[in-house]
Amino acid sequence: MAEIALDELLRTLADNGVGIAADGDRLRVRAPEGVLTEAMSEAIRQHKSALVAAFSERVSPIRLAEPIDGCPILFCVHGAGGNALFLRHWIDHFEGEGLYAIESPGTNGQTRLPRSLADLVDLYLAEMRAAQSAGPYLIAGYSAGGVIALEMGRRLRAEGEHVPLVVLLDTFHPSIEMRTHSSRERIHKIVKMPATFTQNLYRTKVLDVRAYKEYSEGVQAHLAAGTRLPIELREQYMEDHLTSLMAEALVEPYDGPVALIVAASVNDILDHAGPLRGWEEVLSDLRLEEVPCDHHQLVDAPFAHLVVAAIRRQIRGAAV
């Protein structure tokens, strides 16, 4: 059997949706049914050392606060932008619980990101288990990260692990679509807030389009050269990537305890989702708390004490 060159193998794996992750000196391979041929498997074995080196970069959970006196650890998944910098605002408000952040591998400029939600969950579960080998597992996720956290909880429960609580921080069900403003609503906004409306319209139609074109060209240049993305391109790249994964996400019913902590102020393009954010048909054990802020303020410093207090109330009420 002719040996497949490494670059040809990498292209074949990518084109066929085969996910590769390195765990120490071991490779984890996830492939759609029927895709992984014997020739492809043999090529993976032949190039194992090179593949381990190529895919060994990972972002381990960031330990922000260590637990004391047997208190549990809360693992918190990033939002759409991939980083969990907002958790620095929470540290002073935890009292004994541990706090670990899970970030996207793209935070280090890596462009070989997981190709599916399942691959992303595989990676994050491996990271979490490296930090805590067995349950109970407490998992949270902000915004789109809540979908990842929920799937992590589902997988762990299916494997027999104890997951006392999953916390969704203003996470909307992936099926919820943003609505557009009607002509009447646009007129109302122009009359009531002319400066704000004009400014937002200008940014959306002109500045953002131009900036996004420059961003796209920059990303393509780095992808073609095989180099890391500079810091200024990373967050948008990770947001685009996670958005594409969410578009294909099929969220299965979850019967474990879930706390949904929502922002009281909702953007009017999403207010049709209601206070349960579209989760009422999927989650059978749902506890709702509201914080007096908007979606972005939920992870801002002035509201950190309110959000952490809500999370700690939910943890205390869970069977940890």
Can you tell me the distance from the alpha carbon of 35 to that of 158, in angstroms, rounded to the nearest whole number? 26
Exposure string for 31-44, b = 16+ CB within 10 A, e = fewer: beeeebeeebeebb
Asked whether 165 and 181 are in contact (CB, 8 A), the reply is no
Asked whether 300 and 291 are in contact (CB, 8 A), the reply is no
Which position has the token pair 């890596």? Answer: 110
190-199, 213-222, 292-301: least confident range: 190-199
Model confidence at 290, in pLDDT bands (50, 70, 90)? Answer: very high
What percent of the chain stands above pLDDT 90? 38
Q: Is the pLDDT of residue 20 over 60?
A: yes
Report helix angle 6-15 to 38-46, nearest 10: 130
Q: What is the pLDDT of residue 120?
A: 92
Selected residue with higher pLDDT from 204 and 84: 84
pLDDT single digits (tens) 170-201 = 999 988 887 654 445 444 444 454 554 444 44
Q: What is the pLDDT of residue 56?
A: 55
Amino acid in position 8: E
Amino acid in position 42: E
Model confidence at 114, in pLDDT bands (50, 70, 90)? Answer: confident
Model confidence at 307, in pLDDT bands (50, 70, 90)? Answer: very high
* Residue 242 structure tokens: 């996670």
Selected residue with higher pLDDT from 202 and 209: 209
Q: What is the pLDDT of residue 138?
A: 98
Helices (H), 59-193: 117-131, 145-158, 183-192
Q: What is the pLDDT of residue 208?
A: 61
Q: How far is CA 164 from the centre of its chain?
A: 20
| Residue 233: how many other CB atoms lie within 10 Å | 20
Q: Is the pLDDT of residue 41 over 80?
A: yes
Q: What is the pLDDT of residue 184?
A: 55
Q: Considering only CA atoms, which of 241, 249, 307, 255 is closest in space to residue 286?
A: 255
Asked whether 168 and 149 are in contact (CB, 8 A), the reply is yes
Can you tell me the distance from the alpha carbon of 79 to that of 39, in angstroms, rounded to the nearest whole number? 39
What integer is the mean pLDDT of 145-169? 96
Q: Dihedral of the CA atoms 82, 309, 286, 118 (nearest 10)?
A: 20
pLDDT single digits (tens) 228-270 = 788 888 888 999 999 889 887 788 999 999 999 999 998 877 8
125-129, 165-169, 258-262: least confident range: 125-129
Q: What is the pLDDT of residue 11?
A: 73
Q: What is the pLDDT of residue 17?
A: 74
Q: Is the pLDDT of residue 271 over 80?
A: no
Can you tell me the distance from the alpha carbon of 237 to that of 219, in angstroms, rounded to the nearest whole number? 8
Where do the domains of the chain lie, and which CATH numbers do they carry?
Answer: 6-55 (1.10.10.1830), 62-178+244-317 (3.40.50.1820)
| First CA to last CA distance, the chain | 54
**Which contiguous run of DSSP H or E holds residue 298?**
none
